Amino acid sequence: MTLEETIARIRPVDRSQEASIQSHIDNLTKPQGSLGQLENIAKRYVLASGQGWPSVGKKRVCVFAGDHGMVEAGFTFSEQVVTGQIVRNMLAGGAGINVFSRHVGVEVECIDVGIAADMSDAEGLLDRKVAWGTQNIGKGPAMTMAECEAAVGVGIERAQVAAAEGVTMVATGEMGIGNTTPSSALLAALLPCSVPEATGPGAGFKNADGLRAKIALIEQALEVNRAALDHPLTALAAVGGLEIAALTGLCLGAAEHKMPIVVDGIISSAAALVACRLCPEVADYMFLAHQSADPGHAYFVKGLGLQPILQLDLRLGEGTGSVLAMHLIDAAIKMYTEMASFTAAKVTNPEVNARCYPA
Ligand SMILES: Cc1cc2ncn([C@H]3O[C@H](COP(=O)(O)O)[C@@H](O)[C@H]3O)c2cc1C
Ligand SMILES: O=C(O)c1cccnc1
């Protein structure tokens, strides 16, 4: 499925169901609104899934890995080789994403879209390598349009496969040393926010000059790639990354298949924002897992217009926040489908209380 075909198949959610969903939530045995954001999560999930009566189903996190030419600038805390090493750790089950995924009951799928290392011996890794890393965005475009579209296509493919395999909710995950730099570059390119506002420490710096060097590189990237920044897809190719592009594809593909998608931190949010710019209806299928501790993420939260489910000062990435949030989304689904109504439980409905509680 091409990008254009996928976008053409995305439908807005059926808002005509909203009133009856709300009425069902309001008739559950609790004061109206007392389950707070869980009620909104349940409503959005029912609308997104397109199933009047959804059940807790199979969950998967798709972790796309890729490397970044800008790492040659030398300010990232870790060397490029760490991308492949952490991916191997994921395949062995020892990374943060594996621990939380086991805790929540989520399958972990790792996909190489652009690791700058030979991963052919890595068992369990899906080989969809589009390139051996991107080019340095401080010097020119990260990738060609063809590479960008190929990476987006990998994400679309993984969403399609997930849906075909019965996955009912998917999470975004990524691994790529340096990838907070293109994420902040996309943030500053696509949202009204300055480069210093968009830029945070990511996974940390080698030395005290790191933040200044990161800001300077992003400013340079926006300057040398200026002509490409007025369209989300060309901006993605110019200052994004291969795993970010794949995540954009995953968001679009998930929406196409009415599979609610849980978006992790700043890197996943960059991909999600591009997807929403390409097709605004995608936002209806998205849940924003958490507000990252990386300061630029606050601008993504505003730009995406979604309420973050968790506030845990997470700044790991990999999809760790998204799988943790899936646990609460499951709880919201169970609230919707398992809690008794006032009528069924023969409980007097204290409507007056509801009216007296301040909004
Ligand atoms: C050991 C280690 C494990 C990680 N797991 C995720 N990230 C996170 O940090 C990277 C982005 O931060 P930056 O742009 O500053 O390099 C990404 O790989 C992201 O997934 C990690 C980073 C490290 C060092
Ligand atoms: O917000 C994130 O996902 C994040 C922040 C810093 C480093 N890696 C990931």
- Which position among 39, 157, 256, 318 bears the catalytic label? 318
Indicate whether 192 and 69 sit together in one domain. yes
22 lines ligand 1 (CB under 6 A): no
For the chain, the domain total comes to: 2
The pTM for the full model equals 0.98
pLDDT for position 1? 83
Q: What is the CATH number of the domain that holds 274?
A: 3.40.50.10210
Residue nearest (by alpha carbon) to ligand 2 atom 9:
317
315 lines ligand 2 (CB under 6 A): yes
28 alpha carbon to ligand 2 midpoint, in Å?
Answer: 38
Residue 55, number of CB atoms within 10 A of its CB: 13
Indicate whether 103 and 48 sit together in one domain. no
180 alpha carbon to ligand 2 midpoint, in Å?
Answer: 7
Is there a contact between 327 and 104 (Cβ–Cβ < 8 Å)?
yes
181 lines ligand 1 (CB under 6 A): yes
Q: Where are the alpha helices (DSSP H) in the chain?
A: 3-9, 18-26, 36-49, 81-92, 96-104, 145-164, 180-190, 195-198, 210-224, 232-239, 242-256, 266-278, 297-304, 320-338, 342-345, 351-356
pLDDT for position 351? 63
315 alpha carbon to ligand 2 midpoint, in Å?
Answer: 4
318: annotated active-site residue: yes
Indicate whether 217 and 344 sit together in one domain. no
248 lines ligand 1 (CB under 6 A): no
- Residue 31: which of 352, 335, 309 has the closest Cα? 352
Is there a contact between 227 and 131 (Cβ–Cβ < 8 Å)?
no
**Most informative mutation of 61, 205, 316 for ligand 2 (most atoms within 8 A of CB):** 316
83 alpha carbon to ligand 1 midpoint, in Å?
Answer: 8
Indicate whether 77 and 186 sit together in one domain. yes
180 lines ligand 1 (CB under 6 A): yes
**Most informative mutation of 80, 86, 314 for ligand 1 (most atoms within 8 A of CB):** 86
98 lines ligand 1 (CB under 6 A): no
Domain of residue 47: give its range. 3-53+336-356
Locate the ligand 1 atom nearest the alpha carbon of residue 183 and give its number.
14
Indicate whether 78 and 180 sit together in one domain. yes
All residues at 6 or more sequence positions from 240 whose CB lies less than 8 Å from its CB, including other chains? 134, 142, 143, 148, 182, 185, 186, 270, 271, 274
Indicate whether 140 and 24 sit together in one domain. no
**Most informative mutation of 71, 267, 314 for ligand 2 (most atoms within 8 A of CB):** 267
Indicate whether 80 and 45 sit together in one domain. no
Indicate whether 46 and 99 sit together in one domain. no
- Residue 178: which of 209, 213, 147 has the closest Cα? 213
Indicate whether 144 and 44 sit together in one domain. no
296 lines ligand 2 (CB under 6 A): no
Residue type, 86: I
Q: What is the CATH number of the domain that holds 11?
A: 1.10.1610.10
Indicate whether 117 and 206 sit together in one domain. yes
pLDDT string in tens for the chain (359-residue length): 899 999 999 999 999 999 999 999 999 999 999 999 999 999 999 999 999 999 999 999 999 999 999 999 999 999 999 999 999 999 999 999 999 999 999 999 999 999 999 999 999 999 999 999 999 999 999 999 999 999 999 999 999 999 999 999 999 999 999 999 999 999 999 999 999 999 999 999 999 999 999 999 999 999 999 999 999 999 999 999 999 999 999 999 999 999 999 999 999 999 999 999 999 999 999 999 999 999 999 999 999 999 999 999 999 999 999 999 999 999 999 999 999 999 999 999 866 555 566 66
pLDDT for position 319? 99
Indicate whether 316 and 349 sit together in one domain. no
Indicate whether 273 and 132 sit together in one domain. yes
E strand or H helix at 231: none
Locate the ligand 1 atom nearest the alpha carbon of residue 201 and give its number.
15
pLDDT for position 275? 98
177 lines ligand 1 (CB under 6 A): yes
